[in-house]
Amino acid sequence: MNICKKIGSIALMLTISTAALMGCTSADKTSAQETVTAFLDIVKSGTNENIEQYATEEVTSGEFVKTFDSEYLIEQLKNSFETAEIDSETNDKLNVFYDRISGMVSSYEITKVSIEKKNTATAIVKINTEFPVNIFGSEETSNRVKEAAEKYHQEHDKEISKLYEEVGEEEAQAQLYPVRVKIALDTYSQIIDESKPETYAIVLSLEKNTETDSWYVTGIDSFDSSVNGKTETATDTAVSVDATDTDASVDATDTDASVEGDSEQ
């Protein structure tokens, strides 16, 4: 009888221990998913406000966050423009473009959250965007902007040459600058209009801070383009990027050689 009781007690203890362990894992999984949700909600919002509460500095200052941070993209865009020389019409175009960038991420889906070894987890996520993120800073886009500028120059060659003759090179460039900005914005808008929504598959790595009992996103392990359920070759997934890098911005100076007239004509 005593042996039976002991066996029964051991079995009960094992059951309790297993339940407790599963309960802990379940709680961790829920907590990790909450962190991922909060992190992605901020990314979807087009800002990075309070994102440091859910991710490490390496992630928050990295390429992934900046790719979807419309405030960062807008700031880079502003830095590339001589805003003092932009008229109200061009400024209105800029504001419309800013709003469009802010709505880049349409939705996301957390497909799986897994607790790995102790205090680590991974989350597989799909991010749906209104247009491909590689529009910004791509060689194709830069070429389209230059082509549009060259076309404008050809269609207004006589007017541009006359302007240079009448007001001089410096003033002519100042007057043509808003035109260059509009060409860049119109080209970007046209490319976005022609684009289709895109889905990106990413894998987030998370770690648990045992002191605060909180989870943090510590890495973006992949950033793959997923089309029709098939994942294409991964693009660069570096989580850190030089803050001075302005590749993601619209560079209005790309149109310099094409819009400026020849003062010697």
The predicted model gives 5-25 an average pLDDT of 45
Average pLDDT of the residues in 64-71: 85
Query: Does the pLDDT value for residue 235 go beyond 70?
Result: no
CA-CA distance, 216 to 121, in Å (whole number)? 10
pLDDT at site 83: 55
Looking at the predicted structure, is the pLDDT value of residue 45 above 70? yes
For residue 101, how many C-alpha atoms fall within 13 Å in the half-sphere facing its CB?
Answer: 27
26 in helix, strand or coil? helix
> Residues 194-219: what's their mean pLDDT?
92
Interval 141-168 mean pLDDT:
92
Distance of CA 137 to the CA centre of its chain: 12
Count CB-CB contacts under 10 A for residue 95.
10
Task: Tell me phi and psi for residue 138, to 5 degrees.
Answer: -80, 155
> 50-64, 86-100, 239-253 — which is least confidently predicted?
239-253
Average pLDDT, the chain: 76
- Average pLDDT for residues 153-174, to the nearest whole number? 91
Q: What is the pTM of this model?
A: 0.69
Contact in structure between 51 and 60 (CB atoms under 8 Å) = yes
The percent of residues above 90 in pLDDT, for the chain, comes to 37
Is 211 within 8 Å of 120 (Cβ atoms)? no
Question: Which letter does DSSP use for residue 83 in this model?
Answer: G
User: Does the pLDDT at position 189 exceed 80?
Assistant: yes
Residues in the chain: 265
Assess whether pLDDT exceeds 60 at residue 28: yes
What is the domain partition of the chain in residue ranges?
2-259
